[in-house]
Amino acid sequence: MDTIKQRAEEYAQRIKDEQEDAYIFTDAEVLVEGAYEAGAREERNELLRWRDPRVELPKVGENVLVKIGGESYFVGYLDLYNCFCQITNTVEFHTVNEVLGWRYIVNE
């Protein structure tokens, strides 16, 4: 996977190639790279951020990564009763107060 900086440079070059006439200023490529890089970093930070379940909950039924203590994690989902459900050989439930945090699972 390319670094954010490499992706920003490729994106700026692609924009420049597609809109050659629109590039009047030599600094435009630098501005496009900077904007892309800032957006990519913000997206990464948002995806990796642990959310406090007492403040923000995922959609009901959406699979998320759940942290319940120290190094204890599981993939689960929020049910209709605001409990995080862990599915193993048996179904385990964790209340919002037992969960330290949760975050989205990205499949890209």
Give per-residue pLDDT as tens, 35-64. Answer: 778 778 878 888 889 999 999 999 999 999
Report yes or no on 31 lying in a domain: yes
Percentage above 70 pLDDT, the chain: 81
Report yes or no on 77 lying in a domain: yes
Q: Is the pTM of this model over 0.85?
A: no
What are the angstrom distances between the C-alpha of 52 and each of 24, 56, 79, 97, 107?
Answer: 46, 6, 17, 10, 22
Instruction: List the one residue out of 2, 22, 48, 26 whose CA is nearest residue 11.
Output: 2
| pLDDT top residue among 25 and 41 | 41
Report strand pairing: 63-69 vs 91-95.
unpaired
Q: State which residues form the domain around 80.
A: 63-104
Report yes or no on 53 lying in a domain: no
Report yes or no on 24 lying in a domain: yes
Contact indicator for 39, 31 with CB cutoff of 8 Å:
no
pLDDT on residue 2: 62
Residues 68 and 97 in one domain: yes
Q: Does position 22 have pLDDT exceeding 90, yes or no?
A: no
Q: CA–CA separation, 52 vs 55, rounded Å?
A: 5
**Domain count of the fold of the chain:** 2
Residues 40 and 10 in one domain: yes
Instruction: List the one residue out of 42, 41, 31 whose CA is nearest residue 9.
Output: 31
Backbone angles phi, psi at 55, to 5 degrees: -110, -40
Report yes or no on 55 lying in a domain: no
Report yes or no on 36 lying in a domain: yes
